[in-house]
Amino acid sequence: MQRFYFDHNATTPVAPEVLDTLAECAGQVYGNASSIHHFGQMAKQRLEAARRQVARLIGAHPAEIVFTSGGTEADNLAILGTAHLAGTPGHVITTAIEHPAVLGACEALEREGYEVTRVPVSAAGVADPDDVRRALRPSTRLISAMHANNELGTLQPVAAIAAVARDAGVPLHVDGVQALGKVPVDVNELGVDLYSMSGHKLYAPKGVGALYVRKGTRLAPIAFGGHHERDRRPGTENVPGIAAFGRAAELAGARLAADGERLAQLRDRLEAAVLGRVEGTGVNGARDGRVPNTSNLYFDAVDGEAMVIALDLRGFAVSTGSACSSGAVTPSHVLTAIGLGADRARSSLRFSLGHDNTEEQVDALVEAIEASVAHLRRISVHA
């Protein structure tokens, strides 16, 4: 049976060109980038070349890029490293639909005595910058808002939120993990102070990411050891992974416009076919103002987890917005935040397309969806 992958927001396959860079660097560039001998300097050169490649993708200066183990560490470094600067608990603003890496860091701050405001979003999945402004306090240390939502694909008004933050003199962190490589990103045009990135959402391997830190932005370390990454993130750098991330960033910049147009056409083809052929379905969140590869659909009277399994048995990898905890499936916090009831939230699936998906695969997926929904609704009625 052929298998087709429609879960690129969870992780992407490593691109062939990126895999070549990873293998070559792992095999030949094995020095420690902090060593002053020839082998160390070879590693240092590859490290700095990748720093330039990542910086170029977002319009930053290479010195503003801090390499991390991924998006989660980048989010934690930005949030905890900024909040802890004052030494005493303060206030943080975020949104109700953030990734668990951001919400978890905010919850950790609450346990330390910080107060956190989670700004609501509209039914479209978008936060209102005026709500962010109204949430400001004299004690606000940081605003953290994602660029693109991982479940809906909706884009937040980052530049407008940045203007609010700038007027208040509060730093803005943006989780850009799901936007990087899908939409153009220029950190100067956006006006952000911190921007998180992850390699494995960009056709690079897992275990590598980066945090953009605008020049002049203060950041306390959250781990301690050596003086790596300009004293912002200690530990011997993962040079092969970082080199691979740099190559992936270079490819993303070259392919951005063409990939975006093609994937948007495939996404729209998928949605039009499903909505036209399957009753009781709809699109969650905004249909405009989102990344081109992502669609979140509900299927009334169908359990989302059962649908994932049914599609997997037919050869298609997709995902739900739900998380399993202690055997109980809880509705996605993102979907309930945009106003969906628990039942509809549990009946929703995310489809996220990527480089290798084709029209033929999308058409085959639609047929599998139609058959799976009909089967699951039939057995539900007879249960």
352 phi and psi, to 5 degrees?
-125, 120
Q: Calculate the CA dihedral of residues 14, 17, 18, 19 and round it to 10 degrees.
A: 70
CA 142 to CA 145: how far, in whole Å? 10
Which residue in 85, 324, 374, 379 is the catalytic one? 324
Question: HSE (CB half, 13 Å, CA atoms) of 369?
Answer: 32
CA 49 to CA 39: how far, in whole Å? 16
Within the chain, strands assigned E span: 4-5, 65-68, 91-95, 115-119, 140-146, 172-175, 194-198, 209-213, 281-283, 294-299, 316-317, 319-320, 323-325, 328-330, 348-352
User: Is 25 noted as a catalytic residue in this protein?
Assistant: no
Whether the Cβ atoms of residue 181 and residue 172 lie closer than 8 Å to each other: no
Reduced 3-state DSSP string for 2-33 = CCEECECCCCCCCCHHHHHHHHHHHHHCCCCC
In angstroms, the first-to-last Cα distance of the chain is: 29
147 phi and psi, to 5 degrees?
-80, -55
- Known catalytic residues are 324
